[in-house]
Amino acid sequence: MYPDNYLYTKNHEWIAVEESIGTVGITDHAQHELGDIVYLELPEAGQRFDANDVLGTVESVKAVSEIYCPVSGEVVEVNGALTEHPETINSEPHGAAWMVKLKLSNPDELGALMSSTDYQKFVSAGGH
């Protein structure tokens, strides 16, 4: 369910890294907990974030939740299609519903994130 080549946060974000670019989204667990997603607010390209900074917000019929940046970096691309179709997050959270691409400024921060196996154990143990 959770791609093995992604890394995960305790706040239910994922990051897939290729060279120095990390693609970020929220996990299937997060979208399931949120319910039907109706609105998304994302940053603009060029904005810089530190690890654990608020990257944006996602709004569902149940609640508004913050999206946290898993590692430090600069936004180099934003998935504009999601602002038109935020419901894509419910159907493809680990694929087409990526949110931003970051140019990593401190790749060592990736070591603090969870593997797919560790994330699944975290969620199974009731991690929120």
Q: CA 90 from chain center: how many Å?
A: 13
pLDDT at 4: 96
What per-residue confidence (pLDDT) applies to 126? 86
Residue type, 87: E
Q: Which fold has domain 7-121?
A: OB fold (Dihydrolipoamide Acetyltransferase, E2P) (2.40.50)
Q: Does pLDDT of 32 surpass 80?
A: yes
Q: What's this model's pTM, rounded to 2 decimal places? A: 0.96
Is residue 80 classed as helix, strand or coil in its secondary structure? coil
> Where does residue 80 rank: exposed (0-12), middle (13-18), buried (19+ CB within 10 A)?
exposed
The secondary structure element, H or E, covering residue 34 is: helix 28-34
pLDDT (tens digit, 9 = 90+) per residue, 70-104? 999 999 999 999 999 999 999 999 999 999 999 99
What is the rounded distance in angstroms from the CA atom of residue 95 to the CA atom of residue 79? 11
Q: Is residue 128 pLDDT above 90, yes or no?
A: no
